[in-house]
Amino acid sequence: MKACVFRAMGQPLEIAEVTDPIAGEGEIVVRVKNCGVCGSDLHAVKHGFKMPPGTIMGHEFSAVVDHVGAGVTGYASGDPVVVMSYMACGKCDSCAAGHGSRCGAMKLVGFGDVAGAYAEKMKTTVGSVFKMPPNLSHRAAATVEPLVVGLHGVHRAGLRPGESCVIMGAGPIGLVTMLWARFAGASAIVVSEMAEGRRAMALTMGADLAVDPRLKNPAAELQKITGSAPDVIFECIGIGGTLAEAVSYAKRGGRVVVIGVCMEEDSWGPIAAMNKELDLRFSLGLEPGEIETAIAMLAAGRVNTAPMITHTVSLNELPAAFAALSRPSLQTKVMLEF
């Protein structure tokens, strides 16, 4: 089969012929339909992530079942599915409690452990596959993974109806976090984002206000709307310095939820968080229950990720599209489409 392959840190991806996956016991091989390009993929190629040469990336995807291995029931060739970006052991305490993404034996899809979906086919296990309702498009289904990242962040925040929030960053994760904050009944949402195109996208998708943090303080702007400082700050950027910024925006006794994946060293003064007696929470996970919620709400049209899919590319076009994304651009979510 054809795949888009990582060779070395900082090098362009390459289209190559690789061996077709074959499902063993408990495994399912799927034929990829759509796969989103994620900021983590760009980070991984830039910074390494210790990915071995030959890694096939791609972890935000929809597919149809190609064939199933021994012992797999309930799935047949042609079934449309959403495949999760990790494989959990299904047996440990975290898995038993429904926190599959905290599994100590967790394997990530598309970063070297398990071959990802920048390919015609990929192999997964039955526990990582979710059936797609008939009224959900493959393109929309490929946004389930990032959508669940945002949903988990809103759950981690414990956001209650009537509370307000500032969302830092209007990349795909900031945008989906905003969709769920709205869904959860947020009274006001101010998005903080330096790129003008992304601020426009945030407004299109339902933010009350989108500000350039170099020109305006998003917390002060939110206070003009609600009369008080934001209850929750969602950090959806993931670079050094943003944690201190998030703490500065939060109200006394408020919550800061970190969803942005920061791969660099950061230093900040905890006293600012101490003085406000803040709750600082980190959010990573994608839990099975949340995945089912995201699929159902997307299929029902209660959340809509369509505006953020700005470009679709073929497998052959993916290496060039990927390189283009490494530079500042107007693209939000680039989607591989078969």
Q: Contact residues for Zn ion (CB under 5 A)?
A: 38, 40, 88-89, 92, 95, 103
| Distance of closest approach, residue 145 Cβ to Zn ion, in angstroms | 6
Tokens of 245: 């910024």
- CA distances (Å), origin 253, targets 100, 111, 144: 30, 38, 32
Q: Which two tokens stand for residue 270?
A: 């905890």
Measured CA to CA, the distance from residue 143 to residue 252 in angstroms comes to 35
Smaller CB distance to Zn ion: residue 44 or 278?
44
Closer residue to Zn ion in complex, CB, 40/164: 40
Within 10 A of 316 (CB to CB), how many other CB atoms are there?
Answer: 10
- Least distance to Zn ion from the beta carbon of 40, Å? 5
Residue closer to Zn ion, measured from CB, 89 or 200: 89
Phi, psi (5° rounding) for residue 20? -65, 135
190 versus 295: smaller Cβ distance to Zn ion? 295
Q: How far is the CB of 94 from Zn ion (least distance, A)?
A: 5
* Surface-to-core class of residue 10, CB atoms within 10 Å of its CB (0-12 exposed, 13-18 middle, 19+ buried): exposed
For the CB of residue 86, give the shortest distance to Zn ion in the complex, in Å.
Answer: 10
Question: Are the C-beta atoms of 193 and 170 separated by less than 8 Å?
Answer: yes
* Nearer of residues 35 and 190 to Zn ion, judged by Cβ: 35
Nearest approach in angstroms of CB 188 to Zn ion is: 28
